[in-house]
Structure 1
């Protein structure tokens, strides 16, 4: 896949994305920003690492019952004290303490993160008035979990989002995935996780197209909620990879058409194009991995904009073949 100097630019749909361009600055819609939401973020990593006794931890579990029940799974312990003993043990682990200190240094001020999350939740509330904003907790997990989300709470493991050059990195992730665990990717990851609540894609056909549409909806939703966020932070490519994909869109699409890939149900073939991988070797060693997801994003974009659907209408459509047919998708030459 050749590299280019001037990337192909998508047409910006100002109103649908609630964002306008003034020079190079992206300005969010005041109507969205004016929405009132019940938003609360609590930094639990400080409270938990400052706790020293069983009484301290017992107080924290009582003070944060949803966190204790939903995230710590307190109900799975035969005795409450068993969970407290685990927490006390973790607080004495020297590596975990060291990791916590590094998180405290790098994330000393998370006011910008708090603002980004608040703004994202306002955008979701704008499109989905019934959306319940989860209470947000930050923690240090010892690389146990990056993002936990349910209908009540959102838990962010800040240790996953230390700089890529940092000596602490998630131990079980390959390098090409670890590079996506950076501060800039955090809020897009959260929004993509939330998108699953609204994504009604029918996966029962088990086709590559269904997978492409599912992920395409996820990325389209995320871009709609974070209109000023560059594409690379949404899909997890570099800026050069995004530019190269657009420059080679005709070639990429031709590969899918000529090899009759869209309706294949072969799981090994599907994985080649939407599964995690450093590159899509079936197309080119220079083609980034998960390129089927990127192509699905383009199809979903065209489906919504060519038919003037609302975000809700687009996310509710379950028929992947209908989405493809009505998208009128054609690669940009």
Structure 2
């Protein structure tokens, strides 16, 4: 229902990886709030995958930033970061699949720790395509 009511609808012809992971993170947050489930359940990870991501979150973020993925407009790259798979091929074979959704949610969670934002705003292109969303989140 969320995908139907709030589809990923970037306004430009060349959406960035960052906009896609922010959108995916907002979807995870919406599922958590609406269904009352944990982050792990909303992401669909088993215990090992969630433990790996928690333990390696900062290293994963540094890889994504260091490889200059955030502002890439490569749709295939975005897809490899957020799509279900045995592993996240854009980063490495040890990284659980859809790790971009995990990072996207962590950015959203950081933003929500700093200020209240309605789900409808998080799921709108004006948010996930904003040039200030990442900075406002204070995610590190």
User: Does the Cα contact within 8 Å between 1:203 and 1:211 map onto a contact in 2?
Assistant: no
1:219 pairs with 18, 28, 31, which one?
28
> Within 5 Å, which residues of 2 pair with 1:263-282?
263-282=71-90
Query: What is the rounded CA distance, in whole Å, between the counterparts of 2:79 and 2:123 in structure 1?
Result: 23
CA offsets 1:126-154 (integer angstroms, 9 cap, x no match): xxxxxxxxxxxxxxxxxxxxxxxxxxxxx
Cα deviation digits, residues 98-121 of structure 1 (max 9, x gap):
xxxxxxxxxxxxxxxxxxxxxxxx
Question: Per the alignment, do residues 203 and 222 of structure 1 end up closer, same or farther by CA in structure 2, a change over 3 Å counting?
Answer: farther
State the distance in 2 between where 1:263 and 1:324 align: 12
Secondary structure class of the residue paired with 2:123: helix
CA RMSD of aligned residues (A): 2.2
Specify which structure has the higher proportion of helix: 2
Alignment pair present for 1:233 and 2:41: yes
Instruction: Give distance in 2, aligned partners of 1:230 and 1:206.
Output: 29
Q: Structure 1: how far apart are the matches of 2:11 and 2:96? A: 24
**Pairs aligned (count):** 137
CA gap of 1:247–1:203, structure 2 versus 1, over 3 A, is farther
User: Quick one: which of 316, 326, 330 aligns to 2:136?
Assistant: 326
Give the Cα–Cα distance (whole angstroms) in 1 for the partners of residues 100 and 7 of structure 2: 18
**1:208 touches 1:262 (CA, 8 Å); kept in 2?**
yes
Structure 1 position 294 matched with structure 2 position 102: yes
* 2:60 aligned partner: 252
Following superposition, the deviation at residue 248 of structure 1 comes to 0.3
Measured in 2, the distance between the counterparts of 1:238 and 1:277 equals 13
Give the number of the structure whose residues are more often strand, by fraction: 1
Greater relative contact order structure (CA < 8 Å, 6+ sep): 2
* Deviation sequence 1:40-71 (CA, Å, 0-9, x none): xxxxxxxxxxxxxxxxxxxxxxxxxxxxxxxx
Q: Could you tell me how far apart the structure 1 residues matched to 2:8 and 2:88 are?
A: 27
Tell me if structure 1 keeps the 8 A contact 2:107–2:137: yes
Could you say if the C-alpha distance between residues 282 and 327 of structure 1 is closer, same or farther in structure 2, counting changes exceeding 3 Å? same
Higher radius of gyration, 1 or 2: 1
Unaligned runs of 5+ in 2: none
Q: CA deviation at 1:203?
A: 5.4
Taking the aligned partners of 2:97 and 2:8, their CA distance within structure 1 comes to: 25
Q: Is the 8 A contact 1:304 1:310 kept in 2?
A: no
